[in-house]
Structure 1
Amino acid sequence: MTPYLIDTTLRDGEQAPGVVFSKNEKMHIASMLDELGVNEVEIGTPAISNDEKLIIKDIASQGFSYKTSSWCRANLHDIKEATSLNTTSINISLPVSNIQIETLAKSKDWVLTELKKTTKYAANYFNHVTVGAQDATRADINFLKEYIYFAQESGANRVRIADTVGISSPLDIQALFLDLTDSFPTMEFEFHGHNDLGMGTANAITAYKSGAKCLSATVNGLGERAGNSVLEELIAYFIYKENNTSYNSKIISKLCKYVAYNSRVKLATNKPLIGKKVYTHESGIHTSAIIKNRASYQFINPLDFGQKNPGFCFGKHSGRASINHFFSEKNLSIDDYKMQKILNVVKQHSTSLKRSLNEMDLMQIYFDH
């Protein structure tokens, strides 16, 4: 089964507190997502404003290679507004867990009535309709199946199973999707994960392995609370573990940094794939092995994701191999005595400064000792 990746950075990603993308920024992100090779982009929520509608319509009209969708409440007015925006499809959503239904002061009968009414209405205007099951991972399984049944009967092409509060684990997701895909073999399922327990990406991969063809995610995992399943991590998984060569992964670094800068949400230095330090090594055991074979401690190639390969840094945990390698590349001679002396100074300086040392620091130590 080939994965179908849906990016929702422009919709769910922008729902992160304080994040606002301008029209030009959204257009640029949309363009890079086209270069990356995602299958679908959820552009935004028409009900937000007239400006949002114009942005959705503009992006949907660009002729990008991916399909486009907008997100709507299960509301006939919202759906009608979305019909004029030229998106390929629409995503309408309703809560399915007891806690969320009760919070709205509604009933399960109300949910099913609104589901049938709005799905049938949307199917008259869109060739493709996705129905979202909000908080599906906390729903009663029998009611969730009833919801899916009526969504299918009313014309839905896809059902989005949302782990809305990020409460699930991979084993939970596996059991859920094996059950749902067995019960509804002709329905296309999508998984929409959040990262509250740090398992958003793992849950998405598990959902895919358990029958969910479609996965939605955001660049950098941007989103409410702890964010969403992470788009670039999913792509890296499919590249390295599924031998999928359909993505232009070299644009990922540029895309992630652009989204981080314009969302004003900083990237952690140890963020998988694109963090500043994820391809830098200090430990003596690691550096000694990497000099012989980089794959010994780093199977990911940073060049695959548009990143540079910074190599080693020097500090408290350094060993002789990385020091010798550094000076050999500089064509500077160094005997065993000087090697050990420099290594001792490196460890002392790094400990007192509480940081690693850079190349200029190392050169200064070389000439001072």
Structure 2
Amino acid sequence: MSTIDPDLVWTGTLNALALAGRPKRTAGFYDTTLRDGEQAVGVVFDPERKLEIAKLVDGLGVGRIEAGFPRVSDEDKEAIRAISQAGLKAEIWGFARAMIEDVDAVADLGMKFAVVEAPISDAKLAALEVSRDKVLQRIGNAVAHAVKSGIHVAFFGVDSTRADLDFFETAYKTALDAGAKELAIVDTLAIASPEAVDFLVRRVKSWAGDVPIHWHGHNDFGLGTAGAIAAINAGASWVHGTVDGIGERAGNASLPEIAMALELLYGVETGFRLDRIRAASERLRAIAGYALEPWKAVVGQNLFIRETGAVAAQFHIPQAIEPYSSTILDTPRGIVLGKKSGVASIGIKCRDLGLDVPEASHAALLAAVKKIAITNRRLVTDAEFTDLVRRLG
């Protein structure tokens, strides 16, 4: 069970009732920010930044970090080498296509863990002009070579959620027969509904036995978090994702969102440092040069900020307006002033800024705040509000 103080979680009893009698699950986190995350358009991480990101991710408590794809460039090799030597707590994984040269590049860096990938959907094979027989040969040869090189392999079937199910099974069993120890189901284009995720994970477990199953999801339909949770509930051992869900197209599944949901809604202890999520997100954004929607779950700027007057009137009782305490994420709460503010907002802002304003003046201040906000179509800054108090208070 989660070790979060239940007094800080205000989600009610509905989830516990719905989940009663279901087996307790565990979840391992496999971070691919350094490879799949870097595939976001326009993002480039140099070796120094990759090492910094790896340390940030390690500080979040993930079990595995994919350090990168060494055949991409010499810089990637340099980064992987530095990360491998950094003494991080997480297992450091490499990435290789089902090609002997790729596997050798991983082995040459002394890596002991690696994903070996190959496309297995007919659409991907047709695009690459590779036959089913040819890709099976590549899978068997590459995995066997990796195992012979002392590498613990997880086979990664690209676009596996769109593959013919019989060929899917053949491809993954080929990898197992060649020595793969783990299997990663890959929803490359994020087409699997949560129900389909459950179906596929259970189907693989029915013939793979105790082999650890990974789920690698993307977010094209906004279901990245839901799919990862469905995979864990179906018996997957590992979920892949990135910080903030950074990645190509609509991004990858977001590990922080998955961790929050599993901990607070499902009672699954993940080992994820929830109190460090927002700082890690902020730093990654600075490095990669992207912005987030302010209303984004877990890391959004507005998560604990209130403008609406009706909500501000309840601000003194956090559980009335929030599903969990901001202290879980180690972030402050606050009130901002704007068009939608109410009299209660004025009182809270005065207290926050240490302004001694008679309650009889609050209505006039509110009217002035709304006028500024509507005229300029924006919030009113603390400096502007302080000036209003000076002039009207």
Length-normalised TM-score, structure 1: 0.93
- Does residue 164 of the first structure (1) align with residue 188 of the second (2)? yes
2:143–2:180 contact (8 Å) kept in structure 1:
yes
Give the aligned partner of residue 224 of structure 2.
200
Whichever residue aligns with residue 197 of structure 1, its letter is F
Corresponding residue SS for 1:257: helix
Alignment of 1:101-180 (within 5 A): 101-180=125-204
- Does residue 214 of the first structure (1) align with residue 238 of the second (2)? yes
2:27–2:270 contact (8 Å) kept in structure 1:
no
Alignment of 1:56-95 (within 5 A): 56-95=80-119
Summarize deviations over 1:171-200 as a string: whole Å, max 9, x none. 221222222223322221111111111211
Whichever residue aligns with residue 74 of structure 2, its letter is N
1-side partners of 2:125 and 2:274: how far apart?
40
Equivalent pairs counted in the alignment come to 366
Q: Do the aligned partners of residues 127 and 83 (structure 1) sit closer, same or farther apart at CA in structure 2, a change above 3 Å counting?
A: closer
- Does residue 45 of the first structure (1) align with residue 45 of the second (2)? no
**Larger RCO (alpha carbons 8 Å, 6+ apart):** 2
2-side partners of 1:88 and 1:254: how far apart?
30
- Does residue 186 of the first structure (1) align with residue 210 of the second (2)? yes
Cα deviation for residue 287 of structure 1 reads 1.5
* Structure 2: segments with no counterpart, 5+ residues: 1-24
1:324–1:334 contact (8 Å) kept in structure 2:
no
Length-normalised TM-score, structure 2: 0.88
Whichever residue aligns with residue 256 of structure 2, its letter is E
Corresponding residue SS for 2:30: strand
Give the aligned partner of residue 350 of structure 2.
327
Corresponding residue SS for 2:295: coil
- Does residue 362 of the first structure (1) align with residue 385 of the second (2)? yes
1-side partners of 2:365 and 2:200: how far apart?
57
2-side partners of 1:196 and 1:109: how far apart?
31
Give the aligned partner of residue 260 of structure 1.
285
* Structure 1: segments with no counterpart, 5+ residues: none
1:286–1:297 contact (8 Å) kept in structure 2:
yes
Cα deviation for residue 206 of structure 1 reads 1.4
Cα deviation for residue 251 of structure 1 reads 2.5
2-side partners of 1:333 and 1:130: how far apart?
64
- Larger mean Cα displacement after TM superposition, 106-115 or 243-252: 243-252
- Larger mean Cα displacement after TM superposition, 250-259 or 191-200: 250-259
1:61–1:86 contact (8 Å) kept in structure 2:
no
- Larger mean Cα displacement after TM superposition, 70-79 or 231-240: 231-240
Identity of paired residues, percent? 28
